[in-house]
Structure 1
């Protein structure tokens, strides 16, 4: 596996760039849910009892979605898994997909995130590196790496890998 990260500062910049992307998607999802909620509320109580019931159900669903998206504002992204096949999986407080439904952030409770908690140097599974991201608001302030398979790292950067960067 080759890492584009050359030094500690660059590693923070790479992670900040990804965190910015995830927050941008969170903002899009939140704006969309608020827009749909506002549209439902503008319709007002009209139609048959079934129509009113459906409108109220949709309003409740969008209210719950907005509340859930607001609740994850702090520490949205907190981890990254580098996998043996070269893939990276970011782990956070909720699952988020892009507009094409590709995962951007894996919910920490999802089976796909299980390795973030279970992989060890003795039994890494498919994980070569586990990265912990510390954030303050939307800013990445520190990273800490757990290298689980040193042989899988690029030999040129193996000994320069940032174990802890603040």
Structure 2
């Protein structure tokens, strides 16, 4: 880590060390997206606590907004595995304590983002595990839209919420 970053609070520091080959931007006619092999995020619903949201580090794309734990897929990694891995890396979501409900895919042809919705089957508390989060909070589903959401998540949330309601 460079010396300028060393004096910053943890949530302002970019991760250091070797990166996965999937950690790269892809660009095309519809824009620039993170994740050479696509990206995925985990929509975690706890029936008693609400939806797990991540307050994104200020240095990240759309930093300072709220969204889902997730990120770039590794080469050859399926979206469910990637979303579970990323949520564990960023928020200590234990994969054995959630049950997969459904997936929702946003695909622009040369890049895709998969939201993997899960329901908590055994309660846990999320823990910030890396510098990509400022905070992690359980938010009631009817209050999610009150947060300053990552623009892509804000667009997808109404449909995802409807789908969650169908899986009760």
Q: Same fold judged by TM-score > 0.5?
A: no
Q: Which has the larger radius of gyration?
A: 1
| Higher helix proportion (structure 1 or 2) | 1
| Higher strand proportion (structure 1 or 2) | 2
